[in-house]
Amino acid sequence: MARTSRSQMVTVLQGVPLFNGLSKRQLAEVAKVAYEDDYAPGDVIVKEGDVGQKLVVLTAGTADVIRKKHMLATLRSGDVIGEIALIDGRPRTAEVVATSPAAGVVVYATAFRKLLDTVPALSRNIMLALAARLREVDEHADTHG
């Protein structure tokens, strides 16, 4: 796939909730290390049990989260894949499979860790995304438990 230009990548990143509140300069820092990738239906975006090497933010399409052959959730544009494995260094807890033609912004582990140090607003946004996910799990447990 052709490399997206830095200015095109900044435009893509502006539409992603994970990057809300970042300045153009901060978005440019992310754009320096980010790549766009395309996925066909059935493509495995991340595999359960693998060591996390990348974070992916869906920018188009849908993907299912599957753990031990059970479908847990459907992800859509703006959803983040793989940040937990990058943060804690443990194997991925689920597989994510594209269910439609999809695209994503990819940031590899080393670059992601540097971004967390150099773009504090990104660290805050990651924490907010994780907190929202935990609340969602809690609410699901309360209504189904």
- List pLDDT tens digits, range 24-76: 999 999 999 999 999 999 999 999 999 989 999 999 999 999 999 999 999 99
pLDDT for the residue 1: 45
What is the pLDDT averaged over residues 6-25? 87
pLDDT for the residue 3: 59
Q: What is the pLDDT of residues 90-125, one digit of tens each?
A: 899 999 999 999 999 999 999 999 998 989 888 888
pLDDT band at 7 (very low <50, low <70, confident <90, very high): confident
- Between CA 143 and CA 25 the distance in angstroms is 43
Residue 23 domain-assigned? yes
pLDDT for the residue 140: 66
Residues near 48 by Cβ (< 8 Å), separated by ≥ 6?
66, 67, 68, 91, 92, 93, 94, 95
Listing DSSP states for 33-92 in one string gives: H-EEEEE-TT-EEE-TTSBP-EEEEEEES-EEEEETTEEEEEE-TT-EESHHHHHH-PBP
- Between CA 140 and CA 145 the distance in angstroms is 8
Q: Which of 17-21, 47-51, 139-143 has the highest mean pLDDT?
A: 47-51
Q: What is the pLDDT of residues 75-92, one digit of tens each?
A: 999 898 988 888 888 899
Residue 90 domain-assigned? yes
Q: What is the CATH number of the domain that holds 61?
A: 2.60.120.10
Residue 14 domain-assigned? yes
Residue 106 domain-assigned? yes
Residue 83 domain-assigned? yes
Q: Is 100 helix (H, G, I), strand (E, B) or coil?
A: coil
Residue 144 domain-assigned? no
- Between CA 134 and CA 145 the distance in angstroms is 15
pLDDT for the residue 19: 87
Q: Which domain holds residue 108?
A: 6-135
Counting the structural domains of the chain, the total is 1
pLDDT band at 144 (very low <50, low <70, confident <90, very high): low
Give the residue from 130, 135, 102, 123 showing the smallest Cα distance to 19.
123
Residue 75 domain-assigned? yes
Which residue did the predictor score with more confidence, 64 or 11?
Answer: 64
Residue 88 domain-assigned? yes
Axis-axis angle for helices 24-33, 109-118 (nearest 10): 160
